[in-house]
Structure 1
């Protein structure tokens, strides 16, 4: 962090206005010292880019003079046609296929989804956890659950790009139970793959999100409300056929780049 502060100082002395892009304002699970250092670094920049409204409010709380801009994570591109159905109709009214995708880490509070999985029947939902594990204890917990409950499965490994679309094609909905604001690559992938999402109210889905068409929002950390959201999705699954259709996926990255250039006055 010292080198970033030094670089920002040098640029200012040369008459250049430095800018910073924050994937997260604070490191995940950061102690007080780590948060203080993050604030120190961000205060060196007049122009700050963040990925959610919550992060915007956080930056303005300790750096009120910042020219802060929200840049929601653009969707990752896919080969799926813009208005195509995001999944094939479930055969014989089988269980809804629920996907958790991404690094298996403590801060994501995967326990909320894990607890929800134990509150529903095998015939209602199947939960698939996919991603490289950064937590042995979480990996063990999910592994133990998958051995005990037939509606829980796992792939605890890195997923290559070539297999990414098949994983999202095989699910009906992606769940993001995150308890804190973050820029989510999993959400960006779901948007690109045209898969609806069930997200906690800490996740910023972007201005194009419409609840009931693109997904459902539930209170972070509440597994009972998550179960209710899952059942609501199951009962109204056809309402999500055109999820993310309001986005022009091919233009989103270009629009984000244009906005950055405009904010930097380049």
Structure 2
């Protein structure tokens, strides 16, 4: 494949989380594959009212990408158009990384700027981390549809997401390319192998929103896990902790559940993993997630639902257990099975860290083909 000049439009440090890590790692991988790459990032990505968590962090969670501009702002439409005109002159391919419909107006402005300079000669691809939000509004559909019908190509992270994108693009549009979201894990320092023995403790890690199913996990913990097993729920609670605190008290779990509200920086992750027997991912719905690979990187098995791509990275009975999404009884069954004698250590022995290289090589190739 001949080299292509690529411009990625998306979040990088100081923005936090998987989205910023993915954009940064993708830029590094594209350059390593011989494609000159630049990043057009944000100085203000979302209005604070639309993102209740902390948007930025002080320390980067991976190696920053050097050829990066941070000039886009959600409140400066003139800057969107100017960025598009600049990218049209500098790139053969512009990649718009879509996480939320809130980004669509800015991306339409960037796209208009690209087209004003080079027409269709600079290709524009929408890289959809989520085609639509898990918890969506009617306006979300119309916003995303307006973008997907104007770009030259779409990359999605699962067959279901590609099908959704195809329906929104309409008849006659090119089929979206599907690529598995590759590993882009935070740099947590040296990984310490877990000590032998059981902790009698489980961990949920990540933003806490209804679709993540933490309420299902609490009900399953009360019904299926042995009485001496506890749980930490660590992450930003969108909407606060009051509802889950009430459910914890109602289920009689007050002394077994810790709700740790707030973004978890990379340096705190090893300690959380070291104190747990397994990570539990009780999602009702999912697209793609790094949480299975992140747990395996720290030597922990995973108990997950068969939602989205979660089950694709769990080997049932080897390095984790699976259950039905949104089903507290089935998750309770999995927790009970996990704590049968010898099972935690057997599953932990089956855990293997992921090798990122082949996943990224395939991803880069598929992105460029889109």
The 8 Å contact of residues 230 and 257 in structure 2, kept in 1 or not, is answered as yes
Residue 191 (structure 1) shift? 3.3
**Corresponding residue for residue 89 of structure 1:** 197
Which runs of 5 or more residues in structure 2 are unaligned?
1-103
The 8 Å contact of residues 225 and 332 in structure 2, kept in 1 or not, is answered as no
Given the alignment of the two structures, is residue 248 of structure 1 paired with residue 355 of structure 2, yes or no?
yes
Q: Any idea what SS the aligned residue of 1:20 has? A: strand
The counterpart of 1:33, out of the listed 106, 129, 139, is: 139
The counterpart of 1:80, out of the listed 173, 176, 191, is: 191
The counterpart of 2:255, out of the listed 130, 150, 173, is: 150
Going from structure 1 to structure 2, the CA distance change for 1:247 and 1:26 (only over 3 Å counts) comes to same
Going from structure 1 to structure 2, the CA distance change for 1:142 and 1:188 (only over 3 Å counts) comes to farther
Distance 1:170 1:35 in 2: 42
**Corresponding residue for residue 123 of structure 1:** 227
**Corresponding residue for residue 103 of structure 1:** 207
TM-score w.r.t. structure 2 length?
A: 0.60
Given the alignment of the two structures, is residue 44 of structure 1 paired with residue 143 of structure 2, yes or no?
no
Distance 2:130 2:327 in 1: 23
Equivalent pairs counted in the alignment come to: 256
Distance 1:147 1:212 in 2: 30
**Corresponding residue for residue 16 of structure 1:** 122
- Higher relative contact order structure (alpha carbons within 8 Å, sequence separation ≥ 6): 1
The counterpart of 1:239, out of the listed 346, 352, 355, is: 346
Distance 1:210 1:164 in 2: 23
Residue 225 (structure 1) shift? 0.1
Given the alignment of the two structures, is residue 180 of structure 1 paired with residue 285 of structure 2, yes or no?
yes
Distance 1:142 1:154 in 2: 12
The 8 Å contact of residues 52 and 71 in structure 1, kept in 2 or not, is answered as yes
Residue 182 (structure 1) shift? 2.7
The counterpart of 2:180, out of the listed 71, 76, 79, is: 71
CA root-mean-square deviation: 3.0
Distance 1:105 1:141 in 2: 16
Q: Any idea what SS the aligned residue of 1:241 has? A: helix
Distance 1:195 1:154 in 2: 20
**Corresponding residue for residue 164 of structure 1:** 269
The 8 Å contact of residues 122 and 150 in structure 1, kept in 2 or not, is answered as no
Residue 170 (structure 1) shift? 1.0
Distance 2:316 2:216 in 1: 21
Distance 1:135 1:257 in 2: 39
Residue 224 (structure 1) shift? 0.4
Residue 258 (structure 1) shift? 6.2
Q: Any idea what SS the aligned residue of 2:310 has? A: coil
Distance 1:74 1:168 in 2: 18
Residue 231 (structure 1) shift? 1.7
Structure 1 or 2, whichever has the larger Rg, is 2
Residue 9 (structure 1) shift? 5.0
Going from structure 1 to structure 2, the CA distance change for 1:65 and 1:23 (only over 3 Å counts) comes to same
Which runs of 5 or more residues in structure 1 are unaligned?
none
Q: Any idea what SS the aligned residue of 1:118 has? A: helix
**Corresponding residue for residue 107 of structure 2:** 4
CA deviation profile, 1:118-166 (whole Å, cap 9, x unmatched): 2145535211111122122435436646985322222122322221111
The 8 Å contact of residues 158 and 178 in structure 2, kept in 1 or not, is answered as no
Residue 6 (structure 1) shift? 4.0
Q: Any idea what SS the aligned residue of 1:127 has? A: strand
Distance 1:130 1:103 in 2: 8
Residue 102 (structure 1) shift? 1.0
